[in-house]
Amino acid sequence: MATQRPLKILHLLSQRPDSTGSGIYIQAMLREADKKGHCNYLIAGIQNDWAPSLDCIDEDRCRFLQFGGSDGDIGYTIVGMSDVMPYDSNRFCDLSPEQITQYEATFGRVIEDVAERFKPDIIHSHHLWLVTSLTRRLLPHIPIVTSCHGSDLRQFQNCAHLRKKLVENCRRLNAVLALSEAQKQSIIELYGIDARKIHVVGAGYNDSCFSPAPKTTPPPVRIVYAGKLSRAKGVPWMLRALARLKTKNWHLDLVGSGSGVEKKECLALAKTLGDGVTVHGMVDQARLAELMKNAHLFVLPSFFEGLPLVVLEALACGCRLISTRLPGVDEILGDLQADFIELVEPPGLVDVDKPVKADEKSFQKALANALERQIDAAMNRAEIDLSPLVDRMDAFSWKGVFEKIDVVYRIVT
56 alpha-carbon distance from chain centroid? 18
Could you report the per-residue pLDDT of 182-204, keeping only the tens digit for each? 899 999 999 999 999 999 998 88
Whole-prediction pTM value?
0.78
- Kindly report the CA angle at 149 between 310 and 259, in degrees rounded to 5? 70
198 alpha-carbon distance from chain centroid? 19
Give the residue from 211, 134, 226, 147 showing the smallest Cα distance to 180: 147
Omega of the bond leading into 212 within 30 degrees of 0 (cis): no
pLDDT of residue 3: 65
- Kindly report the CA angle at 295 between 291 and 297, in degrees rounded to 5? 130
CA 176/CA 195 separation, integer angstroms: 9
pLDDT of residue 53: 80
Reply yes or no on whether the pLDDT at 145 is more than 90: yes
pLDDT of residue 121: 98
Q: What is the mean pLDDT of residues 103-129?
A: 98
pLDDT of residue 141: 97
CA 172/CA 134 separation, integer angstroms: 11
User: Which DSSP category does 177 fall into?
Assistant: E
Q: Where are the alpha helices (DSSP H) in 119-180?
A: 130-138, 151-158, 163-171
User: Which DSSP category does 413 fall into?
Assistant: -
